[in-house]
Structure 1
Amino acid sequence: THGSSTQFAQPVSLSACVTPARGPATMSIPSGLKRFLSCFPARSSSVTGATVSDPDGEDIISGLPDDVLSSIVSLLPINDAARTAALSSRWRDLWASNPLVLDDIDLLLNNPSHVGAVTSTVSHAITAHPGPFRSVKLTCYFSDADESTLHHWIRVLAAKGVTELVLNNIPWAGLDLLPCAILECRSLQRLRISEWRFPDTSGAAAVLRQGVAALPRLRELVLRRSIIQEQDLDRVLASSPKLKNLVFVLSRGAPAQVRLSSRSLWCVVFWQSVVEELAVVAAPLLERIILRTSSSPCGINGKDGSCMRIKISSASVLQALGYLNPNYHELQIGDTVVKVVPDAVVPSVKILALSIQFGVPNKARMMSCFLRCFPNIETMHIQSIPDRGATSKNGNSDFWNEIDSVKCIKESINKVVIHGFRWENCEIEFLKSILEGGNVLQKIYILQDKNVTVSEGAINGTLSLLASLKKKGVIALMILAGQDGIWSYEMASDVSRNDPFDCQS
């Protein structure tokens, strides 16, 4: 309901997005085309002078424009697309004339116990197609003895201008080192690798000395469960003058240090990934540092209690940072390590995300320290970390009194989003402090932990209490309650999203 100053919404269940499971591709080419043709009206219709007749007819869509036929081919599984030449003379050259889109999951589903046949089909397809290659996704299940096949694939992809490449490795097959030929894919704009060791880039260093970029078009690099040495990462950054997104997914300890020195880098993401130190050395365009960690981190190299130091030396346009977690993130701005009262600030940050154990006073106190480092925050995201001890239920936390004196709380924060809310007293005390101190606060989003059940009466009572604390002079205040959405590293690094932590849109 809409009121003059406050809006309430009861928690709602977000419907899950369900994608039908993909089964083995067993349809023949004619049946695949019949499915496409079923989208047309049953009656005959004229398309550029040709009649689309019953799907059982002989040559039913040969009159369609080449761009329409090309679209059909691009949507077919690779096996079917390559065989369209058998349909008619109109289709004969369509597959070869289209940029290749190849995802070998179609082949694997069709031949789950014959990986040799899949390898042969992939080799034939990339050799037969003249290029360019738009998007190629391959699953590598090679042993050391088959290493030459992978080398051949990458050399062909490099020669025929692959734009997007995804290489998923099956490490127990025996091969784990990515071929150096990957550095010859000068047309690459997006590279995603999984379960690989990145190759030695000393060759790229020689290219750089000649003033030539090794990966001149690369815009996104995603390393999932992959290992890259520090010097190799430095060289990749230096040899990729258009790199915007650098993403680590489920990576730990290698590299131990990440030094961001890049004139193009816009976003770096550590998704369930940990290093000893992330240092922003020289990144004049860096706007986002995204940190996603589990609620029970095992530390670096599996050692509990180790901290990841985040050093911000040069980031003049940094706008979004988080989730910072005082449990295992140590923040350093310039030469100052933030512990109690910060002596350095980063005024450019507009969106800050924090992970806080509200029921643990010494952890919760770090929140005000972090907030003082960023005086111009406009949007604050808070991830409430559950604490299984008795203190998690306590709400008598006097230290929250200092929150309302923090500059950004009083002068700039207009939106607060709290994730994983469990309606506990310590969380409610925090929101009361924010409401009492926030002079420009306009919106509060309370996103409930999906594993928590709270009565409707208790929720309404809490929302009414919070609404009653609205400060005089605030024209409108919205307090919305719902359930948290699903956040992904693709969302966090998406340049089109204004708020990388927003998982509701």
Structure 2
Amino acid sequence: MAMDTTTRRRRRLEGEEEEEGLDRISGLPDAVLGEIVSLLPTKDGARTQVLSSRWRPLWRSAPLNLDPCGLSVGREISRILSAHLGPGRRFFIPRYILRPEGERSAATLLDGWLRSPALDNLQELDFHYGDRFPYAQVSPPPPLPASVHRFSSTLRVASFGGCGLPDGNATALHFPLLKQLSLLHVTISESSLHALLAGCPVLQSLLLSFNSGCRRLRIVSRSLRSIGVKPGRGDCRLQQLILEDAPSLERLLCSSSLCGRVIDISVISAPKLDTLGPLDDDFPRLDFGATVFQGSHLVSLITVMPSVKILALVNAHLSLDVVINFMKCFPCLEKLYIKTVRPGEKNVWCRKYKNLVGTLDIRLKKIVLLRYRGNKSHVNFAKFFVLNARVLESMVFENEGKEKMISNEWAEKQHSLLQTKNRASRGAQFDFVCRPGPLGQVGIELAHDLSTDDPFVRFRDWS
């Protein structure tokens, strides 16, 4: 009896080992395996041909995901395109690849690739001719390849860089399925940009960075949810952004250029605008109807924006006056991020805001102060919220760099100065942290990441 039990157990284990050795993945239908291959990086997808004879034909027929990172020359891309039989899914060409080869220009090379049958039905296109700043060019940038028009009915994601887009409505691009658009170092006129956006009826996110030729942009879109803009430099840069009719817009991410150039922002109709910033002291004009800011100074306050819940500021002097003015304009603000670079103003508020404290409804739940120094100015600023923010959940004090490591003694002293034991919100947490440096640069490109509720979670890494 014991022998029978042992035999059955051994046979069961042998059967389980045989099952574990089975190649179940290869038993899937070709369509499913093709989807798996197409999701892999280019080199890994090509290597699946050596797995077995079952996998060998899949690479050539699966939707092509061409991301040539690691490839050194365009000839390798040409070889992949000529050998692939399937439709295209994604075609990404990094800047270093688009260099003239022999007698062919980068524009001719790219146009030839885009005409390849291997890219039929392409869904994602991303290319950049290189770091060609339009305002510094003697000759015009390469034109947008004419072959891009053949993807008008299939593209869902597009990023055009370092090129010039045709002028006039007659040559305007139409992308009825496009949801994500990036224009980087592009030369385009105001009328052409308006025509391009009008030809993208389901566009959800738009990124504009260092472009030239369009000084004023009016946003009229019922589908657009997110905008990221860095205006660039020169007289032909974007200087004014008008949100004329944007009923679905949730976030506006804006960043100054290397020389501090910023744009006028006018919000006429954006009832769902939830996230805004980073706004710095140099903003020439920011208006919400009859409420107007010039830089960080409030000129008039008549209308408010109750939809704004998340705000990021680059406030050099860490001024409580500035922040309170923004809070008056955004009465439902829940998250506030502030990056400061100087010791700060006096921020004496006990008498100045004595009457305001009882009437101002502070709804802030999270406050992050970057480059907090713990001096009298910074303490006075933070203490206002410690003692008056009744629903505050978290307040983070970040000290960047290596000049000061946070000791327990220093943190305890800060708790005493801030009077955290007398905090208005009993559940509030106060954290003093030291960041050694950026984890990796981020910025307005987060306009495309609609899965992220708060793009300023890594505000210290913004560039």
Letter in 2 for 1:227: T
TM-superposed CA distance for 1:79, in Å, is 6.1
State the SS of the aligned residue for 1:231: helix
| Structure 1 residues 378 and 123: alpha-carbon distance in aligned structure 2, compared to 1, 3 A threshold | same
Distance across 2 between alignment mates of 1:333 and 1:222: 26
Count of paired positions: 420
**Residue 195 of structure 2 aligns with which residue?**
235
1:282 corresponds to which of 234, 245, 250: 245
Distance across 1 between alignment mates of 2:221 and 2:86: 31
1:198 corresponds to which of 132, 145, 165: 165
| Structure 1 residues 255 and 460: alpha-carbon distance in aligned structure 2, compared to 1, 3 A threshold | farther
| Structure 1 residues 479 and 272: alpha-carbon distance in aligned structure 2, compared to 1, 3 A threshold | farther
TM-score by length of 1: 0.72
State the SS of the aligned residue for 2:218: strand
Identity of matched residues, %: 29
TM-superposed CA distance for 1:318, in Å, is 0.7
Distance across 2 between alignment mates of 1:49 and 1:455: 54
**Residue 70 of structure 2 aligns with which residue?**
106
Q: Deviations over 1:451-474 (max 9, x none)?
A: 5414512233113332436345x3
Q: How does 1:240-251 map to 2 (within 5 A)?
A: 240-249=200-209, 251=210
Distance across 1 between alignment mates of 2:51 and 2:390: 70
Please identify, of 411-420 and 139-148, the stretch whose mean Cα deviation from structure 2 is larger. Answer: 139-148
Contact 2:278 2:313 in 1 (8 A): yes
Distance across 1 between alignment mates of 2:215 and 2:117: 31
**Residue 398 of structure 1 aligns with which residue?**
348
**Residue 4 of structure 2 aligns with which residue?**
none
Distance across 1 between alignment mates of 2:457 and 2:121: 35
1:412 aligns with 2:363: yes
Distance across 1 between alignment mates of 2:228 and 2:434: 24
1:123 aligns with 2:123: no
TM-score by length of 2: 0.78
Contact 2:91 2:125 in 1 (8 A): yes
Q: Deviations over 1:464-501 (max 9, x none)?
A: 332436345x3311111224564444445421222121
Q: Deviations over 1:361-401 (max 9, x none)?
A: 6xx643332222111111112122x13xxxx2x66333686
**Residue 422 of structure 2 aligns with which residue?**
470
**Residue 184 of structure 1 aligns with which residue?**
150
**Residue 34 of structure 1 aligns with which residue?**
none
2:182 corresponds to which of 222, 241, 251: 222
Letter in 2 for 1:215: F
| Structure 1 residues 408 and 451: alpha-carbon distance in aligned structure 2, compared to 1, 3 A threshold | farther
Gaps of 5+ in 1: 1-43, 53-60, 109-114, 208-213, 301-306
Contact 1:221 1:245 in 2 (8 A): yes
1:264 aligns with 2:264: no
Contact 2:180 2:448 in 1 (8 A): no
Measured on the aligned residues, the alpha-carbon RMSD in Å equals 3.7
**Residue 500 of structure 1 aligns with which residue?**
455
| Structure 1 residues 450 and 177: alpha-carbon distance in aligned structure 2, compared to 1, 3 A threshold | farther
Q: Deviations over 1:313-338 (max 9, x none)?
A: 00111111111112235211125423
Distance across 1 between alignment mates of 2:270 and 2:114: 36
**Residue 13 of structure 1 aligns with which residue?**
none
Q: Which has the higher contact order (CA 8 A, sep 6+)?
A: 1
**Residue 310 of structure 1 aligns with which residue?**
265
Contact 1:158 1:184 in 2 (8 A): no
State the SS of the aligned residue for 2:114: helix
TM-superposed CA distance for 1:89, in Å, is 4.0
Distance across 2 between alignment mates of 1:83 and 1:480: 48
**Residue 274 of structure 2 aligns with which residue?**
319
1:459 aligns with 2:459: no
| Structure 1 residues 158 and 128: alpha-carbon distance in aligned structure 2, compared to 1, 3 A threshold | closer
Contact 2:372 2:397 in 1 (8 A): yes
State the SS of the aligned residue for 1:131: coil
Q: Deviations over 1:118-143 (max 9, x none)?
A: 33x32342244233222221132237
1:383 aligns with 2:335: no
